[in-house]
Amino acid sequence: MNTWAAISTWRMSYDGLQAASQQLNDRVSAGDAVEKLINTVEDYPLYKSVGYGGLPNEEGVVQVDAAFMDGDTLAQGAVAALENVKHAVSVARRLSQNKTNSFLVGPGATKFAMQAGFEMTNMLTTAAKASWQDRRKSTPNIDLKPYDGHDTVGAIILDQAGSMAAATSTSGLFMKKSGRTGDSPLSGSGFYVDSEIGGAAATGLGEDIMKGCLSYEIVRQMAEGKSPQAACDATLYHFIAKLKKRSGQTGAISLIALNKQGAWGVATNVEFPFCVATAEGGAQIYFAQPGQA
């Protein structure tokens, strides 16, 4: 195989996707390329929902969730409510090398990262602190409610050797409770990848995404022969109909998928910019609308 392909969530992933593309042209592995993509987003202080500059929880503390999965070995690592580490996805990847203890949360995750030599950083930027203070002022005497501005960078990559990897990273919901964990570090909900089939990742309201294990469901449907687009459509729209029927509502959900041939698909119930790169076509930003790719 001498081709490669990558798909990632939101416009904020574009620079990271370009950096990963250069690596993929140089025959770097899917695992290294997906880590590079996500690290690039984690480093950028003005992306308010990922890594450094991410928006804090209701106590004013930035807690992040991240995951990494190797589609060849199915090894996975994840962290939740991790504090003071910019490159959460790199901690998750390091944990994926463990046979046990591969998903760590809260102070245990932070302690592991520190002991493993990851750089400790104050993740609360002046801008993020100002948003938090404004938000507290606007809701002085009532319970703080998470607002809608929350995005995850998620990506799936197929490399020139035919190996695949997936990863996610997010600061989750602004004004979330301390310790709240979304779908992004949860296997099968926020991400899943199998190099013999393909992979998927999700972004949106984690509490709803995890009710349907949506990333695993997409991969399962691709294994049955569906294209990534057909699997994304069938998974999302069936799930939304079910959730509306059972509970009367659903939050925002956007799904991306890539199969082992490099074909991709997307489904969403909100306006959703995403990025795709291929060996032949370079990196591009697309906009998906609810009901169409």
Respond yes or no: is residue 152 known to be catalytic. Answer: yes
Pick between residue 64 and residue 164 the one whose CB is nearest to ligand SD4.
64
Which of positions 81-140 make contact with ligand SD4 (CB under 6 A)?
A: none
Find the part of the chain contacting ligand SD4 (CB under 6 A) among 52-60, 119-127, 148-156, 278-286.
Answer: 148-156
- Does 51 bind ligand SD4 (CB under 6 A)? Our answer is no
Find the part of the chain contacting ligand SD4 (CB under 6 A) among 16-24, 37-45, 123-131, 180-188.
Answer: 180-188
Pick between residue 63 and residue 96 the one whose CB is nearest to ligand SD4.
63
Minimum gap (Å) between residue 173 Cβ and ligand SD4: 6
Question: Which position has the token pair 């602004």?
Answer: 174
Minimum gap (Å) between residue 171 Cβ and ligand SD4: 8
- Does 56 bind ligand SD4 (CB under 6 A)? Our answer is no
Which of positions 198-237 make contact with ligand SD4 (CB under 6 A)?
A: 203-206
Pick between residue 146 and residue 228 the one whose CB is nearest to ligand SD4.
146
Catalytic residue among 152, 168, 181, 268: 152
Report the interface residues with ligand SD4, using CB under 6 A.
Answer: 150-152, 170, 172-173, 182-184, 203-206
Active-site residue numbers? 152
